[in-house]
Each structure stands twice: as structure tokens, then as C-alpha cells.
Amino acid sequence: MKEKYVLEYSSAMVDEPVIYTLVKRFDIKVNILRAEISSGQEGSMLVELEGDRAKLDEGRGYLASLSVTLLPISNSLRVREDACIHCGSCTGVCFSGCLTMGAPDWLLAVDRDKCIACGLCVKACPLGLIGLKFGE
Amino acid sequence: MAKSYEEINAKIKAGKAVILTAEEVSRMAEEASPAEIAKKVDVVTTATFGAMCSSGCFINFGHPSPPIRMESISLNGVSVFGGVAAVDGYIGATEVSPEDPKYGGAHVIEALIRGEELLLKAYGKGTDCYPRREVATWVSKATVNEITMVNPRNAYQNYPAATNSTERQLHTYMGSLLPRRGNVNYSTSGELSPLINDPYLRTVGLGTRVFLAGAQGFVSWRGTQFNTTKPRAPNGVPEGNAATLMLTGDLKEMSADFLRAAYFERYGVSLYLGIGIPIPVLDEDMARCVSIRNRDIPVLVCDYGAEGHPAIARTNYEELRSGRVELDGRSVRTAPLSSLSKAREIASLLKAQVASGAFPLGPPAQALPADSTVRGLEIKGRAR
């Protein structure tokens, strides 16, 4: 199974070979989609983790033991859909296919699992309805 | 066979009028000829819900005692133009708060519609007529006299789509344009768009009743930058932004369902506005006009990365709505900026309003200009 998470870790954790350990010890395939280190040396990383359920559980446990926060990508992207006017502006910059709109109803469709946390939609929404928890 | 406005209104009153949305009549036109449509259909409702910067409201705040000649005015920190009579002002949609560039006139207008209380501050020099020198108080649509929306330029007839050939992302009123022609953004509601359904403005003119953000408003004048010189496709639709409308209505009757404040990144504040116009099917010619389909509407794709935004390709709304268009042999993703679902909601609502008799149709008191062009601004050396 495959799961997408935003990992957030403190400056104390920057020296820890987290990804190496996930691969070697837990046999988890890690696809790093986006990574950032902020000015205070805290890091954020969007990763896709693939492996057996048991291994993934163990891997998550390992990350938790290091106080690395795991935020499922679906919780990282916030779209206030109730206030959306379905203009489509956000769909023009969303290349991962998370935000789409089309026939027949031309209403915004949000597939959070496809989000890659690029953040372009946050500024593209003219009503300021989109938030993304990544870094900062 | 031609129909008069009186005949159409009589049919509406008798409950016998056939009223369709512009999309419904376009589907009908796949099978039926203009002659058949002229016979069967009486009114076609059109609509759009898009960003329209050239919008704003006159507000009469009422006089305090003793009275004031308001010279410098703000609402929630946003500057209101006070260069009219004592307690009149004009709030423009794109005016911004000096403290928050993402908050502006459009937000003030939306808050007024929602019935919120806003902080009014005003100063005057104090005169014999108007001795008071300042006010700071709370106002809402319930406390002020009039809030009259007067929008100098709305409902553009067609509008080019936008792309960006530069190496950096551009932030424009046509949305975020990605580098190297990474996307194409388009506005207008295509075959549902008001002035595309009446390309020569036979039925839309001064005094035409319109749906304006949920209220009944009127076409009060030609819109600014009104242009009749754009090349037209054989069906009469201009290839580019041509005619415009000045619209007027009572904000106190409007609904925030059809008006929303917007902020375009590094461009500024704008106003999403819902407009609907019923078009009477007077004869075969009007039937042909309202039958227009997305594939028949020419759209230029302009490069916002080059000076003067030159057109670099031609497309139509059917292609734009497919999600991809071809630019120089490369397939590029497209996205709308105006809400088609909201425009459809307005067209359906308007259909019901016309059918109920609450939205009578009438001929324009005067036609919009048949010959009008747009000038640039000449810079004549040093003006200091």
C-alpha cells in the first residue's frame, strides 16, 4: 500500500538519517516529492511511503519515536469548499490532478491523495479559500 | 415571422411563453433551424459570473447633526471617493486598504450586502453650511440612505484567453500564468455569455433590465472602452473584447450569492459579479444569434508575457472547455476563471423570474453606439 505524508521534524533531527532507516530497516519505498528546510533549520518533507501494512506501521512508529510529525497529505491541504464559487482558477496551476473541474457540472473536485503540496493553488485562489500546511 | 416585445410579454403573462437558457437553445439548435427556433422560443436567458474590476457603489451616508461636508472618507479603512456632494461617496471595487493590500473596496461592498456594520470615518474642513469636522461611527445598509451600484464597465463581449511565454510565473488578472506557456486561462461563459448572444446589440441597450447580483438592475450607459471595431467572425461575434455595459442597481436588493470579493495575487482586489440578461427572440435573426454554440465562438489566445499582449493563437470555447488546446503543436492545459456553474444558476433563476412575470422585457430606450473605438493615452513629454 501507498500513503502520502508531510513529515515535519525539528532542527535536532536534521542529522538523523531518517529516510535511510525507513528503507533499510523497514523495507519501505520512499518517494520524496518535496523537501524544504526553513530558516530555523526545521524541515518539511512530502513523501510517498510504499510497503506492507505491517512495515508501514512500524516505520510510522519509528518516526513517531523520533518526534517526527506525520501529517497525511489529505489533512495538509485545506479547501473551504463551502465558500467556493467554482471559478476554476486553482485548477489552472494544479498539475498533480488534485484540483479539477470539467463537464458536466463544472464544480471543483478535490482529490486530496493526488496533492503534491506544491502550494501554487494557495495563491491562485482569488477568494483565499485554500491553505496548505507545509513548512513555515 | 417577427414577434414584438408586447407579444412576448403577453405570452409571458398568459403563461404560454417558452423560455430557455442560452445553453438549452444551443442544444436545440443542433437539430432545429433558426426559423423553427424563432417560432418555438420566446426568450433566452444568458448569464455570466466573473471578475469585473470596473465596479463600485455610490453611497449616501445621511447627515449627522450638525452636518458635515465629507471630504476624506473611509469604510473599514478603505478609501471612499468624496469629491461629490456633502455625504455622498463612491467606493470602487479595486480600492485597497493601506494596511492590508488583500482587503479593498470589493470586500467593503460584499460586507455591505451581507448587512455587516462597517467603520465609517470622515473628515471635512468645517464650513458655515457644514460645521462638523469629523465623524467616526458604524454604518450598514440598514442605516445609510442609498447604496447604488454603478459599474462603469461590465459584461465584456468576448475576452481573449491568456498564456505566458516568459521564463517566470506571471500574476495577472487572468490568474496565475505559468512560465513557458504552461497553461491557458480563459474567462467568459461562452455560449451562455450575455453579449455573445446578441452580437450586434439589437435587444440590449439603454434601459434594458438585467439581473445584477441578485437584484434587478439596468443598463445605464455604454460601458467604458466600448469598442465596435474588433474584427467579427461570420456569425457576427467579435474576435476579442468589444462591447461593454455600464450597469446600475440597488445594492440593498442584492445577494452575496452573486457577488464576491476577490484578491488576485500580486495584481490586487477585484469583484466577482453575477449578471444575467434575457434576450427576446424577436425574429429569425435573433434566433440565429442565440443559437450560437461554443465551437462557433472565436477566442484569441494572447501572450501576457509580451508587450501589448499580442494574440499568438486562435481557438474556441469548445476546445478551451475540453481542458487542452494546442499551441505551436504542443498540448497545453486550460482552466476557466469565471464560474460556469454560477452562470448556469443565474440563467436558470432568470428563466424562472421571466416566466413569473417579475422580469418584464422591453426595447432599449436607445441603442448602444454602432460606431465606437478605443483610444490609447498619448504621453506628451514633460507635464511638470
Domain holding A40: CATH number? 3.30.70.260
Share of chain B above pLDDT 90, in %: 98
* A126 and B CB contact within 8 Å: yes
Among the listed ranges A65-69, B48-52, B312-316, which one has the minimum average pLDDT value? A65-69
Q: Provide, for chain A, the percentages of residues in helix, strand and coil under a 3-state DSSP scheme, each rounded to the nearest 5.
A: 30, 30, 40
pLDDT at A39 over 80: no
pLDDT digits (tens, 9 = 90+) for B26-43: 999 999 999 999 999 999
pLDDT at A2 over 90: no
- Indicate if B251 and B302 belong to the same structural domain: yes
Q: Let me know if residue B328 belongs to a domain.
A: yes
- Indicate if B261 and B335 belong to the same structural domain: yes
Contact B264, B171 (CB under 8 A): yes
pLDDT at A75 over 70: yes
- Indicate if B184 and B269 belong to the same structural domain: yes
Among B102, B178, B337, the residue with its CB nearest the CB of A87 is B337
Give the pLDDT band of residue A74 (cuts 50, 70, 90): confident
Catalytic residues of B, which ones? 129
- Indicate if B180 and B82 belong to the same structural domain: no
In the prediction, which pLDDT does B93 show? 98
Residue A107 distance to chain B (closest CA, Å)? 7
Q: Let me know if residue A10 belongs to a domain.
A: yes
Q: Let me know if residue B140 belongs to a domain.
A: yes
Q: Let me know if residue A33 belongs to a domain.
A: yes
DSSP A98: S
- Indicate if A64 and A97 belong to the same structural domain: no
- Indicate if B251 and B204 belong to the same structural domain: yes
Residue B158: other Cβ atoms inside 10 A:
26
Contact B171 A86 (CB under 8 A): no
pLDDT at B1 over 90: no
* B171 and A CB contact within 8 Å: yes
What is the count of structural domains for chain A?
2
Q: Chain A residue with minimal CA distance to B263?
A: A126
pLDDT digits (tens, 9 = 90+) for B48-75: 999 999 999 999 999 999 999 999 999 9
Domain containing A125 equals 80-130
In the prediction, which pLDDT does B210 show? 98
Contact B272 A103 (CB under 8 A): no
Among A92, A107, A127, the residue with its CB nearest the CB of B341 is A107
pLDDT digits (tens, 9 = 90+) for A12-30: 887 788 899 999 999 999 9
Which residue did the predictor score with more confidence, B37 or A11? B37
In the prediction, which pLDDT does A136 show? 57
- Indicate if B164 and B301 belong to the same structural domain: yes
Q: Chain A partners of B183 at a C-beta cutoff of 8 Å?
A: 92-93
Contact A123 B341 (CB under 8 A): no
- Indicate if B122 and B260 belong to the same structural domain: no
* A80 and B CB contact within 8 Å: no
Give the pLDDT band of residue B190 (cuts 50, 70, 90): very high
Interface test with B, best of A80, A81, A84, A85 (most B CBs within 10 A): A85
Whether this model's ipTM surpasses 0.85 comes out as yes
Contact B183 A87 (CB under 8 A): no
In the prediction, which pLDDT does A135 show? 66
Among the listed ranges A6-10, B35-39, B160-164, B356-360, which one has the minimum average pLDDT value? A6-10
- Indicate if B34 and B181 belong to the same structural domain: yes
pLDDT at A87 over 60: yes
Q: Let me know if residue A135 belongs to a domain.
A: no
Give the pLDDT band of residue B354 (cuts 50, 70, 90): very high
* B335 and A CB contact within 8 Å: yes
- Indicate if A97 and A121 belong to the same structural domain: yes
Among A92, A123, A126, the residue with its CB nearest the CB of B335 is A92
In the prediction, which pLDDT does A67 show? 87
In the prediction, which pLDDT does A13 show? 80
Q: Let me know if residue B174 belongs to a domain.
A: yes
- Indicate if A55 and A112 belong to the same structural domain: no
In the prediction, which pLDDT does A40 show? 72
Q: What mean pLDDT do residues B260-264 have?
A: 97
Domain containing B180 equals 5-53+152-355
Q: Let me know if residue A136 belongs to a domain.
A: no
* B323 and A CB contact within 8 Å: yes
Contact B183 A93 (CB under 8 A): yes
pLDDT at B383 over 80: no
Contact A85 B339 (CB under 8 A): yes
